[in-house]
Amino acid sequence: MKKNRKISVLSALCLLIIISSCATTPKLDSGSAPNAGPEAGLPDFSFFPPGARLYLRADIGQAKPLLEALSFEGVSSKDASQIMERTNTAMAVLYPESEARRFFLAGWGNYPHLRAGFSMSLNRDWKRVKSETGNRYWYSARNNLGIALGPALAYVTDGDPFTPGQGVDPCPPGFEEFQRPCALAGWLNNPMEAIDRFISTMGIPLQIPAEEFFFGAVRLTEEAGRPADRNWELIFKAKTPGATQARSLITLFALARMFMPASPQIDFSGDSISPQEAASLLFANPPEQDGASIIFRAGPLDEKGIALLFNLFSVYSNKTE
């Protein structure tokens, strides 16, 4: 089934938060509520089905202004804000187009599942079905969504939400340290092709032999001389095969920046930005070297600018000839 297969990077998290509202999610019977993760402290990705191409984690308390900048069909900003108040941490994985499953989302928070169960029972779009693991969950054939909700943990996916993972945390070395200051952070599996497509779209004739690719959004403190609404910094970290390659790429990017127009005050009021505008933002600061890795810092930006950059990357990194 192909429905709901086009999901942008940030809309995936927004989808989880929206679906996990008390108006649309189910009550689970005792013993069938999802319970993996919270007991061990900070949630990890160990219970997600393997094979994802993109992993995301968001601290909703910090990321709320950024997530509120996203639009989601059929949900008002007021509703989204109320839903986010009930979620502490959200995580999402997106799978390649070739996979049967497209996404798997999880949220940790405080969910009113009793009211949710009553609401779900009145909705003809949802049916109670049994998982292969023996647990029961709600499924909507119309939306191709499976939902399981406990009082503190929610699963949402286009399939069986109780399909177990392999029990091994797939976080690449260094990601936990990288994401610590970020409100929203993630990484790409096998990132080289997607990154090269995106850079090529921006008109930069370079390739990054990226073995790993982290990205994150960090809230900035107030600073004199900086616009008050531009309080975010977007960070990318690409690991290359070695320090020599990283050093050479730093030099090449420094040369490329000399030919890029400076656009520090791009208007983010529209629905999109051009690849050229994205290039001027992403390479506004000289890239930094950290051993075999290259770090790019795009900022300061407002919430709308961050959302537009993520959406642009989602479109062009997946674009095929």
Residues of the chain with pLDDT > 90, as a percent, come to 16
Query: Does residue 191 sit within a domain?
Result: yes
Contacts of 23 (CB under 8 A, 6+ apart): 116, 119
Query: Does residue 165 sit within a domain?
Result: no
Q: 182 with 221, same domain?
A: yes
Q: How far is CA 301 from each of CA 249, 272, 312, rounded to the nearest angstrom?
A: 25, 15, 15
Query: Does residue 307 sit within a domain?
Result: yes
How would you label 176-214 residue by residue, b for 16+ Cβ within 10 Å and e otherwise? Answer: eebbeebbbbbbbbebbebbbbbbebbebeeebebbbbb
Paired tokens of 252: 């090449």
**How do residues 261-294 score in pLDDT, each as one tens digit?**
665 567 676 777 888 888 888 888 889 999 999 9
**pLDDT recorded at residue 263:** 54
Final residue belonging to a domain, choices 125, 157, 189: 157
Q: 39 with 179, same domain?
A: no
Q: Is the pLDDT of residue 38 over 50?
A: no
Q: Is the pLDDT of residue 213 over 60?
A: yes
Give the count of domains, the chain: 2
pTM of the model: 0.81
**How do residues 153-211 score in pLDDT, each as one tens digit?**
778 888 888 876 666 667 888 998 999 999 999 999 888 888 888 888 877 777 888 99
Average pLDDT over residues 300-317: 79
Distance, in Å, from the CA atom of 114 to the CA atom of 117, rounded to the nearest integer, reads 5
**pLDDT recorded at residue 177:** 92
- Range(s) of the domain holding residue 221: 175-317
Average pLDDT over residues 95-113: 79
Average pLDDT over residues 56-72: 78
Final residue belonging to a domain, choices 128, 157, 186: 157
